[in-house]
């Protein structure tokens, strides 16, 4: 939203999207201050997830999931800090890549032709990146992203009804709750922007979207790690870090000589 009060270090806005936050109100280096710093929780949660996945010897796909969450948050920070088109695409393209990775994690355990799924998803992701770079999808990007996300929900629900552990089910419910709350923040920020410009305090709906989606991704990954550990017979249980943050603790059976 163009109401800058400082000179822009990054030059004129070239992105095709601006959110409901006045530009350069806190620093000449950060266009949308709250939309930028609100990605920090997602980065920290992704780092915690990577450390837990590596330390306990989970499959590399889960380290990759957390890493993609971090890459996406960093890309979002760069976009909102600069409002430059090149960084907008560094935010949007990893969003699609991340969903493709979720599709692999969700569906690969039951996929009989192991090489076909990753090959197809990699080619799909690369093709999208090239097309998005040249064609600069707008509304179509959002519809495409929502469509891919909806493809993940049936398998997430299947895992939910198959899971008997109450603590794991609670994480799945937190995943749904954060997704709904984040969506409310996103919609309010987009739909009521003109009205909010006259308010004394901007509720920063898009910034809340970032914060809540950081937790949402962490909860999704944690639930999937629990389900995968069950499939592998690793005796998973849910523990709490810092007294409130759930994570999966596993106990792999000893290998027999």
Is residue 80 a known part of a binding site? yes
Is residue 26 a known part of a binding site? no
d(CA 131, CA 221): 29
Is residue 18 a known part of a binding site? no
Is residue 32 a known part of a binding site? yes
Contacts 24+ apart (CB under 8 A), 55-60: 56/248, 56/249, 56/250, 57/252, 58/225, 58/228, 58/229, 58/250, 59/228
d(CA 65, CA 24): 33
> Exposed, middle or buried: residue 4 (CB in 10 Å: 0-12, 13-18, 19+)?
middle
> Exposed, middle or buried: residue 138 (CB in 10 Å: 0-12, 13-18, 19+)?
exposed
Contact 83, 31 (CB under 8 A): yes
d(CA 108, CA 23): 43
Is residue 23 a known part of a binding site? yes
Closest CA to 2 of 10, 19, 11: 19
φ, ψ of residue 27 to 5 degrees: the values are -160, 145
Contact 219, 175 (CB under 8 A): yes
Is residue 202 a known part of a binding site? no
Contact 169, 230 (CB under 8 A): no
Closest CA to 21 of 248, 174, 190: 190
3 state SS of 62? helix
Binding site residue list: 21, 23, 32, 80, 206, 210
Binding site residue list for Zn(2+): 80, 206, 210
Binding site residue list for Ca(2+): 21, 23, 32
């Amino acid at each position: 939203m163009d109401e800058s009060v400082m000179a822009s270090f990054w030059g004129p806005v070239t992105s095709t999207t601006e959110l409901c936050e006045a530009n350069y109100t806190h620093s000449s280096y950060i266009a949308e201050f709250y939309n930028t710093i609100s990605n920090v929780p997602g980065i920290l949660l992704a780092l915690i997830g990577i450390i837990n996945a590596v330390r306990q010897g989970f499959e590399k796909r889960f380290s990759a999931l957390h890493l993609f969450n971090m890459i996406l948050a960093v890309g979002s920070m760069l976009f909102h800090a600069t409002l430059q088109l090149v960084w907008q695409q560094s935010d949007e393209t990893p969003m699609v890549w991340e969903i493709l990775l979720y599709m692999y994690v969700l569906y690969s355990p039951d996929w009989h032709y192991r090489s076909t799924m990753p090959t197809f998803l990699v080619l799909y992701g690369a093709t999208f990146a090239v097309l998005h770079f040249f064609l600069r999808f707008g509304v179509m990007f959002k519809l495409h992203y929502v469509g891919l996300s909806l493809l993940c929900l049936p398998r997430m629900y299947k895992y939910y009804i198959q899971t008997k552990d109450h603590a794991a089910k609670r994480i799945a419910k937190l995943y749904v709750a954060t997704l709904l709350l984040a969506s409310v923040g996103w919609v309010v920020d987009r739909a009521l922007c003109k009205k909010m410009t006259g308010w004394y305090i901007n509720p920063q709906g898009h910034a809340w979207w970032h914060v809540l989606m950081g937790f949402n991704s962490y909860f999704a990954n944690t639930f999937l790690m629990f389900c995968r550990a069950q499939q592998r017979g690793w005796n998973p249980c849910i523990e709490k870090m810092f007294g409130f943050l759930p994570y999966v603790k596993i106990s792999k059976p000893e290998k027999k000589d």
